[in-house]
Structure 1
Amino acid sequence: MDDKRNVIIAMLLTALILFGWPYIAETLFPNAAKPAAQQQQQQAGQPSAPGAPTAQAPAAIRPRATALADSPRIAIETPKLRGSIALKGARIDDITLPTYRETVEKNSAPITLFSPGGTKEAYFAGFGWSGDGLTAPDGNTLWQASGTKLTPSTPVTLSWNNGRGQLFEIALSVDNDYMITAAQKVSNTGAGTVGVRPYGFISRADKPVDPDTWTIHIGPMGVFNGAADYDVDYKDLDKGEIPAPIASTGGWIGFTDKYWLAALVPDQQSRFDGQFRKGAGSGYQADYSLTPTLLAPGKAVTHTSRLFVGAKEVKTLEAYQDAGVPLFDRAIDWGWFYWFEKPIFALLHWLFTVIGNFGVAIICLTFIVRALMFPIAQKQFSSMAAMRALQPKMKELQERHKDDKPKLQQELMDLYRKEKVNPFSGCLPIFLQIPIFFALYKVLMLTIEMRHQPFVLWIRDLSAPDPLHVLNLFGLLDFNPPAFLAIGVLAIILGITMWLQFKLNPAPMDEMQKQIFAIMPWMMMFIMAPFAAGLLIYWITSNLLTIAQQKWLYSRHPQLKQAIAK
């Protein structure tokens, strides 16, 4: 039982935490029971947003420019948004993000988030009404606008008279970030009372390119009754597993992509019913509806809701959360280590703002983490060195009691007590590294602040895998190897540094363990190659610091080497 076995134990614990925790949590912390209102809706099959258009894929794909020309439009112009609103149907269906690009190339086009219905990547939002005795506007209604451009300083009001005594208005305003506010007003000048039920919807024609994984939720999500809900996936909707409407007071509903978010935020003081739907083909929809109101003649009613459409910037989401949107930062799927990942992100982002290079910031973060863990690591290395010095005695006991395993274990424990060596002391530093490593993985994979950040030379995007592959002769051959064979320069350096680190550790007595640890660095080279380059830089730096710390320990305690030599 030597220190190598501790590494195996730590690796098993890592796998247990990362892969087993979701199942353990589901057992120990089951989802809360549905509110009574929600249960009643499920039993009755009540729809969430009566009158809202059902999401569906277009029958024939139109060019985006053709679809944009299909309706008169109101331009949108803010520091972070560009686009327009279609007066036909009052749809917000043209949104681009000028501060973000599709690729790292300088001439790359800006991110297009919303596109009109009928286009290849149709994705749009809107607000409307349904109700008894009410002739409400629909997707073909042509609205009148009070202005020609929606900016943070120039709001626009859309209006439509149904000719039957009701005037509909949507007063739109936008801030300097990504939030559009819509005040929906109905004025009843008719002779009779009408029922009015406001709703909002987000419709998209297909799934995003980024896949939904067990560590990163991409797809339908929302916050209902004070809890973030990641339970609904696109694959659930594809299988016809349509969730029941969710009754909530406060919260929001929408679609989260890896870096982008479209979310409806109803009036936080009003009860709403939210639902995710599957339309014809590959269409999907998230919508909400408010409680119906009886509107008497001569009366008017206004409901104010908001639409977020933009990038999931951590500070921006936190600002909206502080302003009253509950748990808005959970649009980023931080996961179970949320409490630890946010400080890691804050420290890394601060280092980046000071240094100006994200790769260097990751290296500095590694130094800080290792400095904080220095006393614990020193104890670990001292124990490992002591274990290394005991190797001859342990080998002798192994030969003497090779046919009596219980006796061998007893003799080894006596030897550890006599020499004051703890064979398990090496586990703690490795175990403490697990949440740090996983937190950095989530930060690099999820936060848009890391997207397209360069390091040096060929590393132009630290959130993407190393693009310089061995199998295509570092780009000289015109082909991209499959992910499991895409061994880059950083992966090779990782394997070498891990091999050097293992060489300084005590050699295991068991031959099987020797073989395992002989190939482990090269296995990890293949396993880690598809991961973000920034993650490999962290691990390489950590390995180099570990090697330096071990060398320093031996230089300060030459008797350890002398004991090994004897």
Structure 2
Amino acid sequence: MKDENKNFVLFAVLAALILFGWPLVQNRFFPTANPPVTKVEDGKSKPLPQPQADPAADSPTAIRDRATVLAGSPRIAIETPRVRGSLNLKGGRIDDLVLVRHKETIAKNSPPIRLLSPSGTADAYFAAFGWSGQGVTAPPADAVWQATGAKLTPATPVTLETRSGSQVYRMTISVDDGYMFTVRQSLLNAGTAPVQAATYGLLSRRAAPADKDTWTIHSGPIYEAGGGVKFDVDYKHVDEAVQKFTTPGGWLGFTDHYWLTALVPDQGAPHEIAFRNAGDSRHQADFRPTAPVTIAPGQAATQTARFFAGAKEVDILDRYQDAGVAQFGNSIDWGWFGVVEKPIFHYLDWLFRLVGNFGVAIIMLTLTIRLLVFPIAQRQFASMAAVRAIQPKMKAIQERYKDDKQRQQQEIMALYKAEKVNPFAGCLPTLIQIPIFYALYKVLLLTIEMRHQPFVLWIKDLSAPDPLTPVNLFGLLAFTPPQMIAIGVVPILLGISMYFQFKLNPAPLDDTQKQIFAILPWVLMFVMAPFAVGLQVYWITTNCISIIQQRWLYSRHPQLKEAPAK
């Protein structure tokens, strides 16, 4: 009895640590879900603003400042199926871009995500290209380039030209139907002496993004070097010292949770890439070839680079990787379980296209997984039946050798061998589901395809927590409860489903274990409450299938329901 009380106290302490300590761990290593997109008030779902989704959020001040800056320079319109904006002829910069297929909030009149803003605005974020080197007279930053066209579209590239000193500079900029710009730069040496020159490209970002950099999701500098995407540099490192790397080809830029800008130099030549603090709260990513070219008088040199500015859509990134941009599909931080996550994403995305609802697709994914592991679950129940049948013998051994733990373990292992029982066989289905569960967690958290995807009723975003909670009487009381106690309806359903599933499990002989299993569903309910609703839908569906499956298997293994012999 003393040992049972000790075990129960230990479990109570562990449960308290989970409830109160887990939020501290999850915020750093396992961010639970995207911020809520709705708030339930007076029983109705109302959209919430999402400034963290936009690195250049359209606050009233930013809109006014941006409009003033945009009007202060001549521009060429940019128009594609996915982006809108303008090309700045003063300096030849790509500095005005919105993503027309992605909205800031779920509201019908929500503006699109703004990715790039011109210099002089509160959140300046732009790309620029040019030449530098010995004997080169670079155009000034405010030089106005002459343009050959009036609009940049996938069908109509634009050529810009300017002259500085004895050099003539040209940029032919084209854009595809995705998010990739191609910049073909030419330098004509109209002087009397040869020059040594090399192109460069830079990204300038005035303010750090609102997206938090965590162990699970990297937000900040990103680059590819040596055949792998690197997430090991953050803004703090850049502020301390310039981060330089030499790589054949490669690419670099800044990543947010869902958005990415990346400079892609010529993949056939070695380059020096760097991240640096440019002052005035600006961070810069830039590249330049390691070897300049010599341009004789009357001759010209041409070099080509690409610039990605858009959403991290899986199919689009993979398309550019297949087109020669090394490891571009891994700019999404899949992590260690990428080999599981990407197939789950593609299957889930296929199901979504089939049924048109991601919640239903998650349920169908769960059914598929349970169907695949059904034969293993049958063996699990058979193993549970065998272990239950020998529990009285195990109890007798524990009583007989309670003062000799080593001998006790030896006798129990001998009993397993004699009865042909594998006590670990029942763990296999759980072990199989751990990487699947974690992979779905990462898919819901990472992929923009899951962003703002509704399910039913009040659930408007499967990648966010459940906003409907009885703590404030389902929004009828005018206060927002703290996250720790704001248990939503879906997490409550999760706790109930776990309770009934545990009730169907064979009752343990030990009273302390019975108490633990009675409390565990409600502890897990609190732990899971801040996670994405989509993850909870998966778990509830799994529990419901398990309940049905257990009832069916009980009919085949009735000894599981019987009380063990004394």
> Structure 2 length as normaliser, TM-score?
0.85
SS at 1:426's partner residue? Answer: helix
Contact 2:554 2:560 in 1 (8 A): yes
Q: Which moved more, 1:260-269 or 1:222-231?
A: 222-231
1:425 maps to what in 2? 425
2:51 maps to what in 1? none
Contact 2:251 2:262 in 1 (8 A): yes
The aligned runs of 1:542-553 (5 Å cut-off) are: 542-553=542-553
2:88 maps to what in 1? 86
Taking a change above 3 Å as real, the CA distance of residues 120 and 507 of structure 1, as seen in their structure-2 partners, is: farther
Match of 2:144 among 134, 142, 145: 142
Contact 1:205 1:282 in 2 (8 A): yes
The aligned runs of 1:192-341 (5 Å cut-off) are: 192-238=193-239, 240-243=240-243, 245-290=244-289, 291-341=291-341
Distance between the aligned counterparts of 1:200 and 1:379, measured in 2? Answer: 60
Taking a change above 3 Å as real, the CA distance of residues 417 and 225 of structure 1, as seen in their structure-2 partners, is: closer
Where does structure 2 lack aligned partners over 5 or more consecutive residues? 1-10, 12-24, 30-60
Contact 2:465 2:531 in 1 (8 A): yes
Q: Which moved more, 1:295-304 or 1:186-195?
A: 186-195
Taking a change above 3 Å as real, the CA distance of residues 435 and 147 of structure 1, as seen in their structure-2 partners, is: same
Distance between the aligned counterparts of 1:142 and 1:485, measured in 2? Answer: 58
1:126 maps to what in 2? 128
Give 1:204's aligned amino acid: R
Q: CA deviation at 1:353?
A: 0.7
Q: Cα deviations across residues 203-231 of structure 1 (Å, max 9, x unaligned)?
A: 11122222111111121111113221111
Quote the sequence identity (%). 61
Q: CA deviation at 1:80?
A: 0.5
Contact 1:94 1:124 in 2 (8 A): yes
SS at 2:122's partner residue? Answer: coil
Distance between the aligned counterparts of 1:118 and 1:544, measured in 2? Answer: 56
2:36 maps to what in 1? none
Aligned Cα RMSD in Å?
2.2
Taking a change above 3 Å as real, the CA distance of residues 474 and 387 of structure 1, as seen in their structure-2 partners, is: farther
Distance between the aligned counterparts of 1:281 and 1:552, measured in 2? Answer: 67
> Structure 1 length as normaliser, TM-score?
0.85
2:4 maps to what in 1? none
Q: CA deviation at 1:135?
A: 1.4
Q: CA deviation at 1:241?
A: 4.1
SS at 2:362's partner residue? Answer: helix
1:372 maps to what in 2? 372
SS at 2:336's partner residue? Answer: coil
2:71 maps to what in 1? 69
The aligned runs of 1:14-93 (5 Å cut-off) are: 63-93=65-95
Taking a change above 3 Å as real, the CA distance of residues 373 and 65 of structure 1, as seen in their structure-2 partners, is: same
Contact 2:385 2:559 in 1 (8 A): no
Q: Which moved more, 1:98-107 or 1:491-500?
A: 491-500
Q: CA deviation at 1:496?
A: 1.7
SS at 2:216's partner residue? Answer: coil
Q: CA deviation at 1:407?
A: 4.2
Distance between the aligned counterparts of 2:195 and 2:479, measured in 1? Answer: 65
Q: Which moved more, 1:497-506 or 1:547-556?
A: 497-506
2:39 maps to what in 1? none
SS at 1:288's partner residue? Answer: strand
1:102 maps to what in 2? 104
Distance between the aligned counterparts of 1:431 and 1:550, measured in 2? Answer: 18
Give 2:264's aligned amino acid: V
SS at 1:183's partner residue? Answer: strand
Distance between the aligned counterparts of 1:292 and 1:517, measured in 2? Answer: 69
Distance between the aligned counterparts of 2:529 and 2:195, measured in 1? Answer: 63
Taking a change above 3 Å as real, the CA distance of residues 467 and 370 of structure 1, as seen in their structure-2 partners, is: same
1:487 maps to what in 2? 487
Aligned length: 508
Contact 1:462 1:532 in 2 (8 A): yes
Taking a change above 3 Å as real, the CA distance of residues 441 and 414 of structure 1, as seen in their structure-2 partners, is: same
